[in-house]
Amino acid sequence: MVELLAAEIEDVKFLIIGPGWVNTKIHQSVLEAGERAGHSYSLTKQKFKDNDFVPMSKVVRCCNKLILAPKEIFTGRNYSVANDQWDKSDFQKLLKNNPDMYKLRRYLNDI
């Protein structure tokens, strides 16, 4: 959807930013549900045990970088704070040279 909106509404920058596992109070409901939450419960417990979270400061840095970045290169893409290369110095060049990077479109549907 973000790709379609970016193509159809040219004067707006559309981004999807997935923060990854951030230590927020939303995880408390899973912990409170216990075993009723299924696999999510054990995964959430392990994240807390290992203190394996994306720092909120990293999420904010990513958001700021993407908001300030050139719309024509960055719009219509899906970014992962935890896993993508948004913090690399050559990131803009990488996206410019790879127009399908971080997009969810289907490819080679006719095969």
Question: Where are the domains positioned within the chain?
Answer: 1-19+56-111, 21-53
Place of tokens 């913090």: 87
Q: For residue 74, with 0-12 CB atoms within 10 Å meaning exposed, 13-18 middle and 19 or more buried, which class applies?
A: buried
Instruction: Give pLDDT tens digits for 22-78.
Output: 999 999 999 999 999 999 999 999 999 999 999 999 999 999 999 999 999 999 999
Task: Tell me the one-letter amino acid at 57.
Answer: S
Q: What is the pTM of this model?
A: 0.84
